[in-house]
Structure 1
Amino acid sequence: MREEILLKLGITLHLSGEPLRAIETLGKFRRNFASSPLRAEAEALMAEILPPEMENFIAKGEDLQAVILLEKYRELLIRGDGKWPFLPKLAKAFARLGLFDRGCRVYLYMIDHAKSDDAAESFYLPLASLYYDRDEYTLAEKYSKTYLKQYPKGSNRTALFLLRLRSLYKLARFEEAAELLQDKQYPRSTKIELMATQIYWELGDYNKVIDFANRLGDRGEAIPPSGLLLEAEALRRLGHAKQALPLYEVLAEEGTFGDQATYRCGQILIAKGERVRALKLFTDLVEKGKNALWRQLASDFIAAETY
């Protein structure tokens, strides 16, 4: 009799819009009447109530409460059909809580249990991104590569191509990254072209650095400071200081790499025989610069000049 009363109370609470109390009551039923013939009915109702309630917690920003509920009734949920429409939100909740491994496991579960390849497609980008953010670059590269192979025209192709390049860069597998860029059909984007300049810089292929930096300009885009700096440095390495000078002058004014660019301008002016202009730049750098390395180099030059 007691078990029937407790089960009916759980059902009533559920129908009355009190899901948390219903879950608590049905959970008490499971603990106290483990061998009851009504246990299956109680668990079926709990399995129905739990997913939307967890989703509600996530929607309200109460990620921890959703995770607590999951952990408390994990066994019951695992025995269900696994069709939880809120799983992508749960994976994000894990990530927000810093539980990256748990988030990755949820995405892997969704990929493995997706009804079709199309259904699994959207999970690769967040999965690979989580691995990348955890500094697990080998796994980030692995799942980026898998996606690009399975979905050559997928909607996340550009993002995962970039993520694969970044992962290979972090792994110092520069030659492999460069091979990807040799494919004429690689997806174009500002971030990919910038990544390419860094990859070819590491390989010492300065002509390629310049080529990829210029591709941004060819599309009518302003070359970001990091790309402009590598282009200027590549030109200087190739002995084209005259062409590099205006780029350094732009960077000196822009500010992001201002100290380095100012020092390079001074070096080039020295080579051109314009020592007075160079000395002024070095003096300004020592007085106003923010980067200790470039200030020190400028100071050393001034000291040598006035010795």
Structure 2
Amino acid sequence: MSVLVLAEVDNGALSPATGRIVAASAELGAVDLLVLGDAAAAQAAAAIAGVQKVLLAASEPMADAISGLLETLAPSYTYLVAAASTLGKDVMPRLAARLDIQPVTDIVAIESPNRFVRPIYAGNALETVSDPQPRHVLTIRASAFRPASGGNAAPVETLSTPVASAARFIAAHRTESDIPDLATAQIVVGGGVSVGSADGFKLIEQLGKTLGAAVGATRAAVDAGYAPNDWQVGQTGKIIAPDLYIAVGISGALQHLAGIQGAKKIVAINTDAEAPIAKIADVVLIGDLFEIVPQLIAELENQGLKR
């Protein structure tokens, strides 16, 4: 059985999520990787273990164009796969509609070639889905899988048939940052609305920088303007599964907890010992975050952990 994976490319660089999707998809069969429009990203994709071939295509960065391209390639593949990211959630349902297929989304485990596990009820339960269709359209939660290793040298094939879009791409606006990718980071520091302001949130960023961690935020903190939208963690934001999640001033609303259930260890810093986040955390520090976090940063720096 053959698998075509849609690579995640951001600003010319291959996303770390792609290696995780390839590792998951390799359980289903031989993997080809589709890279849109960037030769450097295609070369990086060719180095991922498990990739049989890289397809490099010139395509406009619009969901209808990408789904149209995938439709033309679909007859050669049993599985068409993407990350359960903004791109995947935009493209794959369109592709499924074009192919008249019921997609299986947000997969966190693969039990067999047609049995998949996905979360429901805001992550409070898992369901196993049997997909008897002859062709499968899937989105996979990257944070649920370990990345594939490197060292491969897959061939790169350039596709000569671009697919146009009915829409027109005008501009991309991005937040420039040197911090790790939130969706795949091993350590994440998250801040809540209790931080009080955008200036107060700089304390969260400082702790993240000291640990070499990604920085996240609750929906309330984002809505209040304390943090950018792409830092939002939760059911309506990014789903994360770090080795360590430090929740600072976060009470633990249901939608936020749905986004961090994959975290292996959770440290909560909060004034409320009865907060929902405190009940699921492995370590709870009760007190004022503006006192605890500076002390924590100072101690980490004393231990030589400043990055």
Larger Rg: 1
**Greater fraction of residues in helix:** 1
Greater relative contact order structure (CA < 8 Å, 6+ sep)? 2
**Greater fraction of residues in strand:** 2
Q: TM bucket by the smaller chain?
A: under 0.3
